[in-house]
Amino acid sequence: MLNIVIFGAPGSGKGTQSERIMAKYGISHISTGDVLRAEMKNGTQLGKVAKGYIDQGQLLPDNLIVDMLASTLDGLKDSKGVIFDGFPRTIAQAEALKEMLAARGQAVSVMLDLDVPEDELMTRLLKRGQESGRADDNEETIRKRLTVYHSQTAPLIDWYKKEGLYAHIDGLGELERITADICRAIDAAM
């Protein structure tokens, strides 16, 4: 089983690269952001709670996200592996993922850190906001999300380095080159 964590700041290209990896390795893709947007669209209880946090650029509480992830994972019975996109975003979530996978006799294979300079992130997210109409892609909320990324999510870089699972990927430049670097890191972990 191939369990890949794709990591990076908002706008670093996790979703785009996940689609490519999914197709190449035939594994499933779990994007917590996509699951939450579907819940919001369907007007579920979780979706209503999520909207409050997402509109403020804040993370949802760990317990809500971990429960949601666990049920999504349970729904993927015969998968060859999973690419986790947007999860974990805190140390508590990384620990929960480790336990969840261990309980299934599995582990994370590699953590891919898509590294992109801050000014480029802002440019990409503002453009996405204009094109997709995603309400959280406005300048004020993007700034809050980047602050949250630095304080709550970036500490995972050292956490995964200690686990011996960290791979740095230069996320600036040609999509094809980035995908090739990602595939090399995955192949080295297999």
Q: Which is nearer to ligand ADP, 91 or 188 (CB)?
A: 91
* Cβ atoms 145, 137 nearer than 8 A: no
Task: Write down the least CB distance from residue 137 to ligand ADP, Å.
Answer: 8
Q: Which of 33, 40, 97, 181 binds ligand ADP (CB under 6 A)?
A: 33
Q: Please state, in angstroms and as integers, the Cα–Cα distance from residue 42 to each residue in 35, 38, 74, 121, 135, following that order.
A: 11, 6, 21, 29, 16
Name the minimum Å distance from CB 190 to ligand ADP: 25
Q: Is residue 88 reached through a cis peptide bond, with omega within 30 degrees of 0 on the bond before it? A: yes
Q: Is 66 in the site for ligand ADP (CB under 6 A)?
A: no
Residue 13: CB atoms within 10 A of its CB come to: 21
Stretch that binds ligand ADP, among 56-64, 73-81, 109-117, 180-188 (CB under 6 A): 56-64
Residue 78 CB: number of other CB atoms within 10 A?
5
Using left for φ > 0, alpha for ψ between -120 and 50, and beta otherwise, residue 43 falls in left
CB closer to ligand ADP, 52 vs 188: 52
The DSSP output letter for 93 is H
Least distance in Å: CB of 77 to ligand ADP? 22
Q: What x-and-dash track marks residues 91-130 binding ligand ADP by CB under 6 A? A: --x-------------------------------------
**Interacting residues of 169 by C-beta distance below 8 A, sequence separation 6+:** 112, 113, 114, 115, 178, 181, 182, 185
Q: What is the total count of residues that contact ligand ADP (CB under 6 A)?
A: 16
Residues that bind ligand ADP (CB under 6 A): 10-11, 32-33, 36, 53-54, 58-60, 65, 86-87, 89, 93, 145
